[in-house]
Structure formats: structure tokens, C-alpha cells
């Protein structure tokens, strides 16, 4: 079985629950909006036929006709059973799980309103609550729909991991010829040819050829790694300028990529979900509503001279008013505004609970390559050992020669010079550098190993200093005389220092986590003022390092862009993926930063804090009036002739809904 098929099968196996979860949410969203439109259509005549609404509009009797109350009952029945079904079924689910929340509160309110109004139609005298019933169902349906649309679909990280593998491999035949085969035909021990620029189809060991291999997406190592005989290669990594022949030694679940898939799956499975803020508010409102309703009925039935019908009407009024319409919109509206605001600023929120949890972060762990650094080789230093050629001329000669090479280091040197000259007699010095003729000058760009081999002295102090900064140093020889050195490195992003400073001001610890060597990590950590660094960390160890920081009692955000970061992103309390990175990192992250700007991390956390604050404000406006409305509805001031009319209660509910909607629009992102 080939890698692609096996990974896809593994992906199907691992991701089956996620696909079901995603499809379930999509179908639920469609179901809510379908029920909403049907309910709205039926609600319009119910509202028009309501005596309370007609009286409020000064149009008493305008739409009245014989039997109109039965029409209202029939239409309200459809809205109650069809539109209210998600809440009625949700009631049983929440009670079964012993976690009463929003569904319980809504279900109790609409059930009490429906049953009591039905009794008024057929049995007792009193006020009907049909219009409150239908509008409550309508608003709650659209509120839940908004909420679901704001939550991103389930993770596709496993599927994205499988896409890293090529579709075919060049299988070597016994006669030396190659045959293109699908990956499912490859077996352990097969020999395959990888041409320049191609992806390596499977884990294996090099048996012939030399090349540099870009493993940055797999291991986090920013430098292309030179590969020769007996060196291991990883399936999914990118071959450089040379051809390689490898012997496959790992397939299927034993492969590096499959192990990463398993790590991502395990980390995602272990991530807990925080309870929704509105549900917690709904839980307490349910307790308040039931308690207030019971006390109201008991007091008016047994401690006063009022009749049963009056006691029942007071009780129903309390129960209906206790379920505020605005509560269904308080959080979803903020979420919708926040999600839209985030998207406008390049933040794509995939997991709302993780985003909300960002307000409580204690530490931010950054991947180095492509996150705090640019992820590409650039010339950082030109060292001149003689006065014969200036820095610009040295760089021009080296770049003119390097333009004939495909090596990433060569491309970095070429990018640094704007005035290239055609080189002649280009030749590769195996494993040591290149040579050629530029304007009749014999030019060599070589590694430190070449100088040692040729016993050419070079200033150790400067070279050592650059090497300790994690930079790659090549030397320029002109007519066999050492004239200078060029240092290249994965340069730190301009905004990285400002980002770290902003996070420190917010009281967060900043840590770097990288597969690079200790010298490089230490240099970056010192330059940026980081609190700590973890270097030479393998992919499976990255998730462990995240857990290590979590065990200190800190909520942790992980920011990264590579496949090697995927398990760590999934393990963190908040996974922040750099959108310009690999697809798998994007699909594993809870939040995606499309601009690859480290400062967006601090802006994102600030938005999370502002969003939560706005949610709390909205919940206050949505439920605060209950402190006044419920006692008045219960009749505590009845002896003074003050009883809350359901119409006044409805007006308060409408006002709170407007306040909630307006308040949500005031959410802003301060960058």
C-alpha cells in the first residue's frame, strides 16, 4: 500500500469523526435557518392577530375575525413543535447530561407559554402568550444559526498532511531504467530515483547521488540539508539541485509523516472544550426562572386570596420574562462581529472556544523558522579580508558565479546583488562549493571545509562569531587568494521585536521552539529578548515541550507554520498558524494569521480580551433587566397597584435586544 493511499486511508480513518462533526454542524446550520424562515412566515400572522400588539399599535380589532384565536393557536402550534424542536430535544439532552443551559431555558419558556396559552384558548380565562412564544423561537433560531456559521468547520489537518506526498515515484528497474509507479506499488527495499526539484516519495536512505534537501516543513530546520550516500531522507521533503537514488526503508504507519498524523490526532483528541459563556448564564437563569416561578405560584395560590387563574398567569408571566430574547443574540452577535473584525485584519478564527480562551494566556511559544524569522536565506554580512575589492564588488563576483547554481544559499547570494555578470567555465567542486570565470577573474565560492582541505588560513574569530549566530558562511577566492566571506542566515522579521515587546507588556512569557541548533536559537532569543528557548527539538518533542510549559500552570499559545509544528499547535491551548506556511499548519491551528506578521499575535490576544469583555457586557444587558422585571412580574408590588404587564415586559425585552445589537457593533480592534 502506498504512502498516499495509506495516508489517505489513515486520514479517512483518523479524520472520520472530524468529517462527521463538520457535516453535522453544516446540516444543523441548514436545519436552523430552514426552521427559522418557516417560523418567521407563520409568526407574522400570529403577531398581527395578537390583541396586545394591536393595542400597542393603536389598531385594536383591525385584524380580528371570528375564530382568530384558533388560527393563532394552530400557527403557534406549528412554530412550537417545528421551530422549537431543536430546543425541546436539546432540553432532554441537557437534562440527560445533567448540564441545563440555553436549550433548557428556552424550552421551558416556550413550553410554559404554549401550554398556558392553549389552556386559555380552550379552558380558562387569561392572557395568551402566542406572540411572545413565536418571536422567542424565531430569535433563538437565528441566534443559534449565527453562532454555528461563526464556528469554522472541523480540522482538515490529516487530509492536508497526506497531500504533501507526491502522486508517483520513479521506480528503478533491474536493467537500470525507471518506471513511474503509483505510491501504492512501492515496498520496503525498493529503489527510487528523485530528480532535482521533486518531492521525496517515501522515507529511505540515499544509496547514490548528492543533493541538498529542504526539510524545513518536516523538521523545522531552516537550512537545506546536504544529503549523500547512507544519509536518511524523509518522505514529503523537497529535493534540491541534485539527483538522488534512495532505498525505501519505511512505509505506511512506520513513516515519519504517518507518525506526525498520529501525533496530531492524539493531540486533537486530548484537547478539552470550554463551556460556552452564554450557556453558563442560561444555566443560572434557568435556576432563577424555575425558582421564581415556583415561589410566585406558591405565594399567590396558598398565601393570598387570589384565585388559581391569577396565580397561574403571574407564574407564566415570570417564566416567559425570565427567558430574555436578547440572550440568544448576546454572544452570537459579538462572535459574528469579532469574527468579521478579525478576518478584516487577517485573523481567521476556526475554533471560537480557543479564541475566547486566548484572553487567559500566560505564555506564547513561537516556532522560529518562518514565524519570528523570514524562513529564507538572505545575505547578512560581507566580510572583506583585503582592500583590493570592496564589499559590493565581492558580492557581485560571488553572485554572478552563483546564478548558475540552484542551491538555496546560492539564490540568497544572487538576490543580494543587483548587478550580475555572465560567468564562464562554471564547475561544481563536489561538496565544497563552485568555481568559474567572471570578467577574466578566477572566482571560487567555497565552504570552510574547502579552506581546510587546501590549508588556506582564514580569520577564525570573525568566522566563529558568525557561526555562533547560526549563520552559514561561505568564502570568496579570487585568483586562488582569499578575499572575503559572505554570511547568510534566516533573518529575523522586522516586526518580531515589537511583537515580543507588546506581549511582554501584556504580562505574557515568550518562548522560542525550533528544530534549529542551539547557537541559532540562542542568538534569536537574545536579539528579541525572549524569556526562554528550546532548540534542536524533534517534531514529536515539540508537543511535549508545549505540555511541559502547560504543566507550569500556564495557558499556552503555540505559533508556527510547518508540518513539524502541527502536533504542538494541536496540543496548545490556542494554536496560532501562520497562513503563509504549510497547509497542514493552517488546518491544525485554531486561529490563522494570513499576514505572517508576529505583531498580529498580540493584536489577536487583545481582540480576544475585548471580545470577552463585550460578551459580558451583552449578557448583562440581555439579562440585567430580570432583576427588576421578574419581581414585578411576580407581583411583589401588587398591593401598591403595580404589576408588570406582559406588554411592558416585552418592551423591556425588545429594548435589551436593541442594546445588545448596538453594543456588539462597538467592538473594535486596537492595534
Reported as a single tens digit per residue, the pLDDT across 61-107 is 667 778 888 999 999 999 999 999 999 998 898 888 887 777 887 88
CA gap 243, 255 in Å, rounded: 22
Q: What is the mean pLDDT of residues 602-619?
A: 89
Residue 463: pLDDT band (50, 70, 90) is confident
For residue 97, what are the CA distances in angstroms to 91, 93, 274?
10, 6, 16
Q: Is the pLDDT of residue 185 over 90?
A: no
Give residue 506's pLDDT.
93
CA gap 336, 259 in Å, rounded: 37
Read off the pLDDT of residues 623-643 as tens digits, 9 standing for 90 and up. Answer: 777 777 788 888 888 888 777
Residue 388: pLDDT band (50, 70, 90) is confident
Q: Contact, 572 vs 330, CB < 8 A?
A: no
Q: Is the pLDDT of residue 27 over 70?
A: yes
If residue 180 lies in a helix (H) or strand (E), which one and from where to where?
Answer: strand 178-182
Half-sphere exposure in the Cβ direction for 635 (13 Å, CA)? 21
Q: pLDDT over 90 for what percent of the chain?
A: 20
Residue 442: pLDDT band (50, 70, 90) is very high
DSSP 8-state symbol, 79? I
Give residue 397's pLDDT.
92
Give residue 218's pLDDT.
61
Q: What is the mean pLDDT of residues 425-434?
A: 82
| Highest mean pLDDT out of 9-18, 344-353, 396-405, 448-457 | 396-405
Q: What is the mean pLDDT of residues 133-141?
A: 84
> What is the number of other CB atoms lying within 10 angstroms of the CB of residue 74?
12
Residue 10: pLDDT band (50, 70, 90) is very low
Which residues carry out catalysis?
367
272 compared with 655, residue with greater pLDDT: 655
Q: Is the pLDDT of residue 163 over 80?
A: no
461 compared with 417, residue with greater pLDDT: 417
Listed range (110-119, 466-475, 490-499, 647-656) with the worst mean pLDDT = 647-656
- Tell me how many helices (H) and strands (E) the chain has: 25, 22
pTM of the model: 0.61
Read off the pLDDT of residues 365-375 as tens digits, 9 standing for 90 and up. Answer: 998 877 788 87
Give residue 137's pLDDT.
87
Closest by Cα among 230, 236, 173, 228 to 203: 236
Q: Which fold has domain 339-373+493-610?
A: Rossmann fold (3.40.50)
Provide the mean pLDDT of the chain: 80
Half-sphere exposure in the Cβ direction for 552 (13 Å, CA)? 12
Give residue 315's pLDDT.
81
Give residue 4's pLDDT.
37
Listed range (175-184, 271-280, 392-401, 443-452) with the worst mean pLDDT = 271-280
Q: Contact, 639 vs 299, CB < 8 A?
A: no
Query: Looking at domain 165-268, which CATH architecture does it have?
Result: Distorted Sandwich (2.70)
Give residue 653's pLDDT.
65
Q: What is the mean pLDDT of residues 110-120?
A: 87
Q: Is CATH 3.40.50.620 what the domain over 374-491 is classified as, yes or no?
A: no
Give residue 270's pLDDT.
44
Residue 322: pLDDT band (50, 70, 90) is confident
Listed range (90-104, 116-130, 131-145, 321-335) with the worst mean pLDDT = 321-335
CA gap 496, 503 in Å, rounded: 11
Q: Where are the beta strands (DSSP E) in 290-440?
A: 347-349, 363-367, 373-384, 423-429, 433-438
Read off the pLDDT of residues 552-588 as tens digits, 9 standing for 90 and up. Answer: 999 999 998 766 788 888 889 999 987 655 555 566 7
Residue 398: pLDDT band (50, 70, 90) is very high
Task: Write the DSSP assignment of 501-540 as a string of letters.
Answer: HHHHHTT-EEEEE-SS-HHHHHHHHHHHT-SEEE-S--HH
Amino acid at each position: 500500500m502506498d504512502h498516499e493511499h495509506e495516508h489517505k486511508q489513515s486520514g479517512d480513518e483518523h479524520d472520520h469523526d472530524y468529517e462527521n462533526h463538520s457535516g453535522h454542524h453544516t446540516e444543523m446550520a441548514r436545519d436552523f435557518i430552514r426552521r427559522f424562515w418557516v417560523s418567521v412566515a407563520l409568526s407574522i400572522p400570529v403577531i398581527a392577530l395578537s390583541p396586545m400588539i394591536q393595542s400597542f399599535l393603536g389598531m385594536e380589532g383591525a385584524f380580528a375575525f371570528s375564530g382568530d384565536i384558533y388560527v393563532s393557536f394552530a400557527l403557534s402550534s406549528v412554530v412550537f413543535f417545528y421551530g422549537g424542536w431543536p430546543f425541546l430535544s436539546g432540553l432532554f439532552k441537557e437534562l440527560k447530561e445533567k448540564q441545563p443551559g440555553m436549550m433548557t431555558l428556552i424550552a421551558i419558556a416556550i413550553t410554559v407559554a404554549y401550554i398556558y396559552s392553549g389552556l386559555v384558548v380552550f379552558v380558562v380565562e387569561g392572557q395568551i402568550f402566542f406572540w411572545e412564544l413565536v418571536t422567542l423561537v424565531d430569535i433563538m433560531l437565528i441566534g443559534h444559526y449565527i453562532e454555528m456559521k461563526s464556528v469554522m468547520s472541523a480540522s482538515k489537518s490529516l487530509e492536508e498532511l497526506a497531500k504533501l506526498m507526491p502522486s508517483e515515484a520513479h521506480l528503478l528497474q533491474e536493467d537500470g531504467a525507471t518506471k513511474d509507479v503509483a505510491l501504492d506499488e512501492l515496498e520496503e527495499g525498493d529503489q527510487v530515483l528523485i530528480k532535482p526539484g521533486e518531492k521525496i516519495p517515501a522515507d529511505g536512505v540515499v544509496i547514490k547521488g548528492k543533493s541538498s534537501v529542504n526539510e524545513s516543513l518536516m523538521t523545522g530546520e531552516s537550512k537545506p540539508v546536504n544529503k549523500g550516500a547512507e544519509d536518511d531522507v524523509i518522505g514529503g521533503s523537497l529535493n534540491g539541485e541534485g539527483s538522488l537514488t534512495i532505498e525505501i526503508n519505511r512505509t505506511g504507519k512506520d513513516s515519519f509523516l504517518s507518525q506526525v498524523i498520529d501525533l496530531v490526532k492524539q493531540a486533537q483528541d486530548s484537547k478539552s472544550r470550554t463551556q460556552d459563556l452564554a450557556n453558563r448564564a442560561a444555566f443560572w437563569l434557568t435556576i432563577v426562572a424555575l425558582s421564581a416561578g415556583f415561589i410566585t405560584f406558591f405565594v399567590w395560590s396558598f398565601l393570598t386570596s387570589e384565585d388559581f387563574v391569577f396565580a397561574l398567569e403571574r407564574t407564566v408571566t415570570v417564566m416567559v420574562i425570565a427567558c430574555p430574547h436578547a440572550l440568544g443574540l448576546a454572544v452570537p452577535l459579538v462572535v459574528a462581529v469579532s469574527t468579521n473584525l478579525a478576518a478584516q485584519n487577517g485573523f481567521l478564527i476556526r475554533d471560537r472556544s480557543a479564541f475566547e480562551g486566548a484572553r487567559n494566556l500566560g505564555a506564547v511559544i513561537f516556532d522560529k523558522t518562518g514565524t519570528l524569522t523570514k524562513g529564507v536565506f538572505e545575505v547578512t554580512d560581507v566580510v572583506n579580508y583585503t582592500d583590493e575589492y570592496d564589499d559590493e564588488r565581492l558580492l557581485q563576483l560571488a553572485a554572478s558565479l552563483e546564478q548558475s547554481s540552484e542551491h538555496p544559499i546560492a539564490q540568497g547570494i544572487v538576490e543580494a546583488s543587483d548587478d550580475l555578470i555572465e560567468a564562464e567555465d562554471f564547475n561544481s567542486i563536489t561538496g565544497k562549493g563552485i568555481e568559474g570565470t567572471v570578467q577574466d577573474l578566477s572566482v571560487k565560492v567555497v565552504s570552510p571545509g574547502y579552506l581546510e582541505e587546501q590549508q588556506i588560513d582564514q580569520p577564525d574569530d570573525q568566522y566563529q562569531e558568525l557561526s555562533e549566530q547560526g549563520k552559514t558562511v561561505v568564502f570568496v577566492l579570487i585568483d586562488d587568494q582569499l578575499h572575503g566571506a559572505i554570511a547568510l542566515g534566516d533573518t529575523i522579521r522586522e516586526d518580531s521585536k515589537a511583537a515580543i515587546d507588546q506581549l511582554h507588556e501584556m504580562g505574557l512569557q515568550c518562548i522560542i521552539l525550533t528544530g534549529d541548533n542551539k547557537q541559532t536559537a540562542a542568538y534569536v532569543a537574545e536579539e528579541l529578548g525572549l524569556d526562554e528557548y528550546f532548540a534542536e527539538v524533534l517534531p514529536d518533542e515539540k508537543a511535549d515541550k508545549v505540555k511541559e510549559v502547560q504543566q507550569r500552570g500556564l495557558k499556552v499559545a503555540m505559533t508556527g507554520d510547518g508540518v513539524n509544528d502541527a502536533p504542538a499547535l494541536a496540543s496548545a491551548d490556542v494554536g496560532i498558524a501562520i497562513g503563509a506556511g504549510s497547509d497542514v499548519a493552517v488546518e491544525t491551528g485554531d486561529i490563522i494569521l494570513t499576514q505572517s506578521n508576529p505583531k498580529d499575535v498580540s493584536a489577536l490576544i487583545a481582540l480576544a480580551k475585548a471580545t470577552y469583555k463585550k460578551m459580558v457586557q451583552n449578557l448583562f444587558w440581555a439579562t440585567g433587566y430580570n432583576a427588576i422585571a421578574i419581581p414585578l412580574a411576580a407581583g411583589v408590588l401588587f398591593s401598591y397597584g403595580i404589576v408588570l404587564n406582559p406588554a411592558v415586559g416585552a418592551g423591556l425585552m425588545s429594548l435589551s435586544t436593541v442594546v445588545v445589537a448596538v453594543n456588539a457593533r462597538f467592538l473594535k480592534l486596537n492595534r
